[in-house]
Structure 1
Amino acid sequence: MAVVASVATGAATTGTAHASAVRPARPIQDATLWREFTASPLTHPQIPFVGRAGYRAGSGLPRRGGRDLVIDVVRDHGARPDGSADAAAAINRAIAAAGERGGGTVTIPAGTYRIDDVIRIGHSDVVVRGAGSGATTLYATRSLTELIGVYGSRYGGDKSSWSWAGGLIWLCPKDRWASLTDAIRAREWPFEGWTGNRRDAWRTLAVPAPARRGDRTVTVADARNLRPGRLVLLRLADHTGHTLLQHMAGDGAGARAYAWADKTKLTSYVPYEWPVRVAGVRGRRITLERPLPLDLRPEWDPRLTTLVTPLTGSGVEGLTLEAAEKPQAPHLLDQGINGLAFQCAYDCWADDVTVRHVDNGFGLIGASACTLRRTKVEGRGAHHPYYCREGSHDNLVEDFTIAARTTPAPAGTQLHGINVEGLSSYNVWSRGRMETGTFDSHRGMPFANVRTDITVNNDGVHGGDASAGPLFGARFTHWNIRVTNERAGLMKIDGLAPYGATVGINEVREFGQIDVPDFPGDLHARLEAYGSPATVRPANLYEAQRGVRLR
């Protein structure tokens, strides 16, 4: 496969939503790591290739007006735009009607709509569209605990899983949502991803031959079950010596020396499950929509398998979800006053959506290839403004804002920020403004993720059980990060992240929560343009990688 890398990246501040106004003290020039990356973009040891993250491999969200069926919740289903009566039933009827007819757009005109139930998007190719986040408001009156029930943790204890799951607008395949909520009501705390509540809802489609990270074409023994356009799951099981986890951590001496066996929460995340669409089939040669995220080695029993019926092509646009304001709950006891959740969703999106007064803002839970664009979390303060977990991959969060909280944080609460955990990989956070929060790598060894072109007041903390293992796996990259309060924690990661990179960050210092590396010895991490983010070119790593053409 030939790779052509674009190097016309522009000046450091070009196209940057929140670029520093300070004139750079040094000349703007291409970063050394960028020049290295363009020479080997799919196999670079520190920088992951994320240029195909997001909806339809980052090709842009669908244009408005492309769907024939349009259902108006006021005109066609009697929803009241003055907040005087529950509108959830009318909105859900409209969504179901569009879904049952093969897809369509559900419009919610300007106004305030009281919702006393979850808004459920369970059919593919359904778009819920308001008149704009400043014009259409859904006012939520009840929590997920009230609507569905108590949701305990599958790992025991008295934690509430609503602290990291579910949404008052919930995009999840209809049957998968039913199985999840049935299990919650039965107090049989489920796994939440692509292979069902017990991770057994899959069957083998094909067995690929050994391959390398970055390959887009694999050879299978029998391709009869594969066709272009089919969504499949790459499944990798760990070896008894934990060599798969070592590989995710960079295959270095530190990973080999690490004590994996007692990290029971981390090992429960394996097998690694990566959804991908088949782009082409030629004999036994299969071309994938995205490059392989990891090597395929026989010891990991690599398989292309089925997965639960996914939600695809659905989105939420142009509205605000506002919850009745209540004090933030103590840490890990959230009642589920949550915003949007994308679960078992692929090629879905949110655009121009604000959530207000929520426990948890925008969730990616076993979700892949989704785009969150022009989103905002505001109000009384959230636990996880953004969270990405349960093996979520290849997602794009761009032009996002976490606003300063409007009320002081109650005692016993925590604020994280932009969270990633649970072996989630190849996700991107781009062009962000964080007036509060942190880069919450929440253990569970997320790897190959990128945060780029972000201004942050670094006042949050990370979470994560010790049993969930390392904070970072390999190829975690922070690129052009402007830390307004100069706190180093989780921003400057050259002393924490194995085979990671910190490029273009202002001078910072350690205070508050201070971490030590999980892996012993040389981390093989890189630091460049420290103290001079305005000199970094390209200014936005994701946008520059969009110019790398694969063929």
Structure 2
Amino acid sequence: MNTLLWALTLLADGQEPLPSQPVKFNVKDFGAKGDGVARDTQALQAAVAAANADPEGGVVYLPAGTYLLDSTLVVERANVVLRGDGANATTIYIPNSLSDVFTGTWVNVSGKVKSSWDSSGGFITFKGRKQTSLLVGPLLANIAGNVEPGDFRLPVDSTAKFQAGQPVRIWVNDESTTGVSSGTDKAPAAGLPGEAAGGDEGLPVPDWVKQDPTYQAALAAGQGMEEPEDGSDGGGGSRDGGGEAGGGGKVYGDNMADSGPDSGILSRDQIAFTARVAAIGEGWVELDRPMSFAVREWWKGVVHVEQPSLQDAGMEKLTIRFKHSMFGDHFSDRGYNAIQAVSGVNLFFSEINIINCDNGINLFFVDHSTVQDVTIDVTSPRWGRDRAKDAFNGHHPITVTMGHSNLITRFSINAKWIHDLSVAYGASLNAFTAGRGLDLNVDHHRAGPWANLFTNINVGCGSRPFFSSGRQGKGAHDGKPSRRPLELPGCDLGPLLNFVGAFVKPNCRTKMKWLVEALNASSPADLHRAQVAARRAASVR
């Protein structure tokens, strides 16, 4: 079995507990009433603005009560935490949608809906500055030779800028990562270097909306979640490798599965990895953890110093409840979206209930962060009799796109959404563990999600555990390898996957080189927890 380092998949590599800072800003001091009647939007925005303006950030405290919020909150400073008195004590009540707040972002023309909010955007946004391989300042060195998965040592063209213990980010790009996943050639949005704008084509979006940080973050994030408009799994043909695969083909097992077109299967910087420098030698640096992907000397591999602008921020101990509304067709989301986080490291979202949402918690370009003790639910079904066959209550409850080494644990999805747990666009080394759902599905949304772990999860009814979607032409749903104790899907899910449990029809062992094993007495029920325990025991020795 290919064992990957999921033990480091959680906030701060699991070396530290979730941050617990003292309260610095109380929303009551900014005029919030918390009585469920008064409009508290300006008071909450003022409290968050004060935290953003403080160089050290701080906890924004919402005492027990119900706070009416009808516009957006944006956290842009490290160490800013929104904290309630508990999910059963503090509620943020949102009576409207993002399309109500932002003019021109949702239109219905002759029954054809176009929405900016079908997969991204949130009433509460955590927004950092995007790191990119295009920047020269953070560049430490170019990778100067071949690297194999599992290698600790990187050949580099210079070691002059490296220091022991230094946090680094490694990117690999080649012709397979030249695509712009939004499917548009528009100019980049302001403040988002290297990102193509998308999501507003055909919409009458005014300039003031385009300059809003919530909208800009949604544009940057939404590029990773396109799906075929008919709601199908997207299709796409397989490729003959024809020689050694590029970066995108490597993700799909050297083109063993459908790895999309020769260029554009992935977007720039989707193949990424973070680590610390453990040692420095003549022409090489050694990392504190093994590489999770290969590098070839004819690809563009670079090592940058890790410089996140947003870290140690998050949200805890409260409920976000939307006014009940009916959910429409696929892609018709009006934007009853709770939380989006874009470009952050070491973020956390803990002890949160989200009620009546289209989209719940969406992580985009977020790494080494933790989502735990989150419940997604409805006050009553959001579908009518005409939609009883599908019975969908929304779109994406929990999503990880273009992020790695995140832990999503102890979650509960108590109704049926279209895509309950989604990984997309290079999402890798993420662990989903100890969760449950009413009729849970694990959505591999194409464009190279790979090496994600799903373990100790109760899928409920189990009628659709591997139903997946994603944009056509972006390769197979999943790359190599993931491990899930669930029933086996079709071979088109992807190559080199590991399955441990009781399964039927293991017909892809040869074609896709799947590893299929039964659980035995020595098998851990939760692989992530077992890896963390083993790593901690080794460090003590």
TM score, norm. by length of structure 2: 0.74
Shift of 1:388: 1.3
Q: Deviations over 1:469-512 (max 9, x none)?
A: 11111111113x4xxxxxx4xx556774311111014x5689xx
For 1:165, the equivalent position in structure 2 comes to 120
1:97-496 equivalences under 5 Å are 97-99=50-52, 100-150=54-104, 159-173=114-128, 176=129, 194-195=131-132, 200-201=134-135, 204-209=139-144, 210-227=146-163, 231-239=167-175, 242-251=245-254, 254-255=256-257, 258=258, 260-261=260-261, 264=264, 266-267=265-266, 269-274=267-272, 276-280=274-278, 282=280, 285-288=284-287, 290-305=289-304, 309-379=308-378, 380=382, 381-389=393-401, 391-404=402-415, 415-456=418-459, 457-460=461-464, 461-479=467-485, 481=486, 488=487, 491-492=488-489, 496=493
Letter of the 2:511 partner, please give it: D
Letter of the 1:338 partner, please give it: N
For 1:547, the equivalent position in structure 2 comes to 533
Aligned in 2, Cα 1:129/1:288: closer, same or farther, shift over 3 Å?
farther
Contact 1:217–1:287 (CA under 8 A) maintained in structure 2:
yes
For 1:537, the equivalent position in structure 2 comes to 523
Contact 1:453–1:540 (CA under 8 A) maintained in structure 2:
yes
Structure 2: tracts of 5 or more residues without a match: 107-111, 177-243, 383-392
Letter of the 1:274 partner, please give it: A
Aligned in 2, Cα 1:499/1:103: closer, same or farther, shift over 3 Å?
same
For 1:190, the equivalent position in structure 2 comes to none
Shift of 1:539: 0.8
CA–CA separation in structure 2 for the residues paired with 1:302 and 1:324 = 48
CA–CA separation in structure 2 for the residues paired with 1:130 and 1:289 = 37
Aligned in 2, Cα 1:502/1:449: closer, same or farther, shift over 3 Å?
same
Shift of 1:270: 3.9
Shift of 1:310: 3.0
Contact 1:376–1:401 (CA under 8 A) maintained in structure 2:
yes
Aligned in 2, Cα 1:298/1:115: closer, same or farther, shift over 3 Å?
same
SS at the partner of 1:97? helix
CA–CA separation in structure 1 for the residues paired with 2:363 and 2:31 = 32
Letter of the 2:495 partner, please give it: P
For 2:202, the equivalent position in structure 1 comes to none
CA RMSD of aligned residues (A): 3.0
SS at the partner of 1:537? coil
For 1:15, the equivalent position in structure 2 comes to none
Letter of the 1:77 partner, please give it: F
Contact 2:308–2:344 (CA under 8 A) maintained in structure 1:
no
CA–CA separation in structure 2 for the residues paired with 1:141 and 1:211 = 52
CA–CA separation in structure 1 for the residues paired with 2:140 and 2:374 = 37
CA–CA separation in structure 2 for the residues paired with 1:495 and 1:113 = 46
SS at the partner of 1:477? coil
Contact 2:406–2:431 (CA under 8 A) maintained in structure 1:
yes
Shift of 1:306: 6.2
Contact 1:202–1:308 (CA under 8 A) maintained in structure 2:
no
Shift of 1:524: 1.1
Give % identity. Answer: 26
SS at the partner of 2:12? helix
Aligned in 2, Cα 1:437/1:539: closer, same or farther, shift over 3 Å?
closer
CA–CA separation in structure 2 for the residues paired with 1:453 and 1:137 = 30
Q: Deviations over 1:438-475 (max 9, x none)?
A: 11112222111110000003345422122121111111
Letter of the 2:142 partner, please give it: V
Letter of the 2:147 partner, please give it: A
Contact 2:245–2:254 (CA under 8 A) maintained in structure 1:
no
CA–CA separation in structure 2 for the residues paired with 1:112 and 1:508 = 49
Provide the aligned length of Structure 1 versus Structure 2. 445
CA–CA separation in structure 1 for the residues paired with 2:75 and 2:277 = 27
Letter of the 1:376 partner, please give it: T
Contact 1:248–1:474 (CA under 8 A) maintained in structure 2:
yes
Contact 1:48–1:476 (CA under 8 A) maintained in structure 2:
no
Contact 1:227–1:278 (CA under 8 A) maintained in structure 2:
no
CA–CA separation in structure 2 for the residues paired with 1:147 and 1:250 = 44
SS at the partner of 2:411? strand
For 2:31, the equivalent position in structure 1 comes to 78
1:93 aligns with 2:46: yes
Shift of 1:235: 1.6
Contact 2:141–2:303 (CA under 8 A) maintained in structure 1:
yes
Shift of 1:214: 2.4
2:515 to 522, 526, 534: 526
Aligned in 2, Cα 1:48/1:146: closer, same or farther, shift over 3 Å?
same
CA–CA separation in structure 1 for the residues paired with 2:47 and 2:32 = 10
Aligned in 2, Cα 1:340/1:216: closer, same or farther, shift over 3 Å?
farther
Letter of the 2:400 partner, please give it: C
Contact 1:476–1:497 (CA under 8 A) maintained in structure 2:
no
